[in-house]
Each structure stands twice: as structure tokens, then as C-alpha cells.
A and B are shown apart, each in its own frame.
Chain A
């Protein structure tokens, strides 16, 4: 009887996983609000009138409550260039798994659902197969096997849910950090180009506009966004503020943005300020590169040491232990 109950629980868990991942695959994307439009197969943007859409609504509700946490998420979404809202002039990034607070929280709750139910379901399934095998071979399972299986499934399910809840945070933080690093690096290289333009007699906004039209990396992307905003509402200071708002905490961008804002507000000649900024950026660029190189080497030391130890243990110690065991036997 208990075995059949376990089988039922396992089956339900599997159904939950399948329903969570594929249940809404056929929902009409054309009618969805652009904020929730489909992005990937896993994304909750596919939410239709189902359990998953309830998760989205829960995510939206949650998004309105946790202000401090949401402020950090919003900042990171912008830093990673994943942020998108209906008023944004730029289209959604194809790579972004979520693009605003609602979709982020929905992804987190979906992670809880998927991770928790998946892990617990797997444990229950494995336990069920084990118990059924015991049943068919005629051996009687230990009395505490079923409660232990339930506790194990709950614990592993909890762990899976916690992992599912926190993994979007880690993903977002890594993307934000990575993009800001790239941006700082590129800014160090590119600032000389703006200076060249200004020295050739071009105004600063035009120089920024010229640079934004060229191929480049994240810094050029930011300049393009700035130029687009400028074309829309013709407010240069607001455009710079957008740049600063999207890259909060990036020292290089702050310095660049403040210099540009100063020049725009006071109408001053910017050659000398740009010269100083470009010279400082060049020095800092090399310092940043050297520091990053050292940091990478330092962070690589752990996996390399771990791999070396593991591989040597497996190749040298494992056969030795096998030999000893064989000798004793």
C-alpha cells in the first residue's frame, strides 16, 4: 500500500516538473503584453492562464514589497544591460533571461518550483524504485525506510528550492560584474577617441554621437543609448544622467559622465578636462588590466590545485588502495 502511495507521489512530482517546463509551450505569445512576451523555453514570459501565471503574479506582488532588495536587482539589471521596460528606446536583449523586477521574481519562484519539486521528485522516484525492487525480490524493507525517504525528499527538495531561488541572483550579479568590467576596459581605450574629435574642433555631444555610430563594445552601446535618448527629448544632461544611472558604482563611467555633465552645464571648453581625463584613464587602464590579470591568476589557483590533487589521487592512490584491498581479500 505504502509503495503505491509513494508511486503516486513520485508520479505527481514528475507531472509537476513536466507541467512546469512544458505546460504553457503552446500559449499564444502574440496576445501577451510585451513585458511578458516569450524569451526562452524556460522563461516564465510564456505564462498563460495557468499555475505558472499565478507564479508571475506572485512575483509581481513580491516585486512591489522588498524595496531594498529590488533596488539592488534593478541596479544590477541595468548594469548587465538586461533591463527593459515598455518605454525603453532599445529592444529587449536576446540573451537576457529576465528583464525587469517582475520577470526576475517570477524566475526565482519558478526556480523554487522546479528545483524543489525536481529534487524531491527525483528522491521519491529513486526511493520508489528501490522499494519496488525490494518488494519484487521478496525482501522486506526496513520499517523506517518510508519515513526516512519522506524526510530525505523534503530535505533535498528544500535544498533544490533554495538553489533555484538564489541562482537567478548569482546569474544576474555575474552578468552585471562582467559587463561593468568590460565597460571600464573599453572606456580606457575609447576615451582617447573622444579627445581626438574634440581636439579636431568637434563639440563634445557631436564627438559622442560620432563614436556611438562606430562598432565597439559595451561602452559604445551605452553611448548609443545616450545618443538615442538625446535625439528623443534633446536634454543632454538627462542623457548623461541616464548613463550614470545605468552604470552606478562604475568609477570610470562616473568620472567620464561627470566631466561631460560639467561641460554641458557650464558650457566650458572641455579640451583640458578631457586631456586630464584621457591621461588618467590610460594610466588606470593599465593598472586595471594588471590587477585583473593578477586576480584571475589568483582565482584560478583554487580549481587548478583542486584538480591536481583530485587527479593525482585518482590515478595513483586509487589503484594502490585497490591493490591493498585485493591483497587483504
Chain B
């Protein structure tokens, strides 16, 4: 009965969360499969995931979080006997899944930037052998590793079609990497200058290496801080799990009288309240410290919405660029088309 109530409470919490956070999808004209229906209802969540550069579908995110959350909720409920912990467990499932995805994203970005630094070296070497930007882009598209290889392949095609700037903007918007922005600007300048940019490309290779190292430092600092938060917040519950298991074990033996009160306390209303308070304090501290971990280490990326109006003298250029920025370009193989959140800002 208690578990049924716990499950119901969890489902109610999830329903409220969905109702508050997620906007309704468009009304379906005819019956569609359940998964597609669910995905339509998760458009808002998908936009948030895309803005945070998480490579996961909203449906899969919810499924993974619920699987973990229900497990956690049931585990906590069983361990403590406090049914109020079931919905908190489900909430924790969402937080943990998000944290895991963030860690994966950071690792992916660091890897990408390192490959990008390698690409800059290739461009510099190629340009010093034969001063041609097209040859340098070809070399980068051949000799670098995926996914930088695909990006430079796209840039090469754009260059050959005379749409280099718009292709650069499309890739920059997709990657949303402050390191790539620097490379894109330098490549654009090299294209405009035509020749005599050897010194600039030499500098670019060095600067990119430095920027990648700085970016990695920022990611490492955040990862370390997040790890501290996780140990600090999981720790008490781990200690308590051990204590609780021991007290339950003792209660089955002759020494049960000693721990009698401890084994039943959390199934009382007062015990439920204390367990709920402890869980909420933990979740609150987790969220607060997570935000603290990235303070001063992340640059918010400003899209067109917050930008100043273009000066009248640059109206033509501004219009061209505006259309390029808001069109994310065709997705590469294995990549999802980008959601609208990529055009409005996020993290660098």
C-alpha cells in the first residue's frame, strides 16, 4: 500500500512538472504513434536540451531519468520506510541524468577543441608549403579527426561554392565553441586578405592551442567542483544507508531492542517529515553548488535577440549575416538538426 502511494505521489510530481515546464505540442490531426505523441509534448524540453548542447532526445532523457528516479525512489523508500522520499527520488533521477549529460558534453567539447587545435596546425603547415586557403582547408578535411574533419569538409564545400562566410557562421552556430569562433574569424580574414597571411596563421595555431588549454582548465575546474558537490551531498546518504542496513540487520537478531526506535522512526509522520526535509536540503544544496561551480567560468553566448541594432552603415552586411546566423545549415551525418534554442544563446 505504501509503495502504491509512493508511486502515485511520484507520478503526480512528474505530471505537475510536465504541466509547468513543458508546453503543449501542436494538435495532431490524426492518430499518431505513442512515442511521437510524447516527443511532440516534449518540444520545450528538447529546446532546453539543445540549448545546453546535450546530444539526447527529450523522450530518451525522460525515460532514462524516470528509470533512475523510480529506482532511487523505491530504494530510498525501502531503506527508510518513508514514502515521501519516492517523489524526491524521481526528482533526483532527473538531476543525476542531467549531470551525467553535462559531463559528457564537457568531455565532448574538450575533445573537439583539441582536434580543432590540431586542424589549425595542419592549416598552418599546409599554408606554409603552398599558400592557398583552399589547399589548407583540404588538408584539414583530410588529415584531422572526426568531427572536426566533417566540419572542415563542409567549410571546404562552402569555400568552393563561394559561400564561405555563411558556412563558417553555420558551423560556428552549431558548435557554439568560443575556440571555434576565433578560428572562424581568422579563416574569414585569411579568405578576404587572399595572400600574405602566413604570420597570422602561425599566430592562429599558437593562440588556438592556448585557448584550448584555457578552455580545458575551465572545464576541469567545473568538473572538480561538481565532483566535490556530488561527494558532499551523496556522502551523508551513503553513511546513512550503511547505518540503516546495520540497524535493520541488528533488529532481526537478539540485539533488536537497541535499534527498535531507529528502525521504525522514519515510517512515522514525524520521521517522514524529517526525511523529506533532509532530502530537500540535499537537493537544494546540490542545485545551488552546481550553479556555483560554473560561476565565472562560462561565457553566455548572445544571439540576435539581445544584440544591438546594426549601425546603418553596416546594414547590408548585417542583413546578410543575420540570415546566415539564423539558418543552422544542413545537419551532418549522425547529427540532429538544431533546435530554435541554438539561435538565442547559451554557454560557450
Question: What residues of chain A have their CB less than 8 Å away from a CB belonging to chain B?
Answer: 89-91, 93-94, 178, 181-182, 185-186, 188-190, 192-193, 195-197, 199-202, 209-211, 213-218, 220-221, 224-225, 227-228, 230-232, 278, 282, 285-286, 289-290, 292-297, 299-301, 303-308, 310-312, 314-316, 318-320, 322-323, 326-327
Contact = CB atoms under 8 A, between A and B. Distances in A.
A133 to B, nearest CB: 22
Most interface-central of A178, A290, A320, A322 (chain B CB within 10 A): A322
Contacts of B240: 311-312, 315-316
A324 B343 CA distance: 60
A211 to B, nearest CB: 7
A215 to B, nearest CB: 6
A181 B236 contact: no
B278 A311 contact: yes
A94 B302 CA distance: 13
Contacts of B233: 304, 307-308
Nearest to A196: B186
B256 interface: no
A278 B210 CA distance: 11
B30 interface: no
B106 to A, nearest CB: 13
Nearest to A188: B214
Contact of B196 (A201, A285, A319): A201
A326 B257 CA distance: 13
Nearest to B235: A308
B285 A307 contact: yes
A303 B217 contact: no
B257 to A, nearest CB: 10
A314 B255 CA distance: 24
Contacts of A210: 185, 189
* Interface size, B (range): 35 or more
Contacts of A306: 285
B311 A218 contact: no
B262 A308 contact: no
User: DSSP majority for the A interface?
Assistant: helix
Nearest to A322: B265
Contacts of B222: 293
Interface in B279-307: 281-282, 285, 288-289, 292-303, 306-307
Contacts of A232: 311
B177 to A, nearest CB: 10
Count chain A CB atoms within 10 A of each CB in B214, B261, B309 and give the residue with the most. B214
B278 A90 contact: no
Contacts of B239: 312, 316
Contacts of A292: 221, 295-297
B224 A214 contact: no
Give the secondary structure class of B's interface. helix
B313 A214 contact: no
Given A221-B302, A289-B217, A296-B296, 10 more contacts: A186-B348, A193-B182, A196-B203, A200-B192, A211-B185, A214-B172, A218-B299, A297-B228, A307-B281, A310-B281
Contacts of A285: 210, 214
Contact of B236 (A185, A211, A315, A319): A315
Contacts of A278: 207
A322 B261 contact: yes
Contacts of A224: 307-308
B200 A231 contact: no
Contacts of A216: 178, 181, 299, 301-302
A286 B214 contact: yes
B237 interface: yes
Contacts of A305: 232
B82 to A, nearest CB: 10
Contact of B278 (A286, A290, A314): A314
B221 A217 contact: no
Nearest to B322: A213
21 contacts: A91-B309, A186-B178, A189-B299, A196-B186, A201-B193, A215-B172, A227-B311, A282-B214, A289-B218, A289-B221, A292-B296, A296-B295, A296-B296, A304-B229, A307-B232, A311-B240, A315-B275, A319-B271, A320-B262, A322-B265, A323-B262
Given A196-B204, A308-B236, A228 B182 contact: no
Contacts of B184: 214
B260 A192 contact: no
Contacts of A326: 261
A326 B296 CA distance: 51
B216 to A, nearest CB: 9
B299 A182 contact: yes
Contacts of A315: 236-237, 240, 274-275, 278
A92 B184 CA distance: 31
Contact of B325 (A186, A215, A318, A323): A215
Contacts of A89: 308-309
B185 A323 contact: no
B308 A193 contact: no
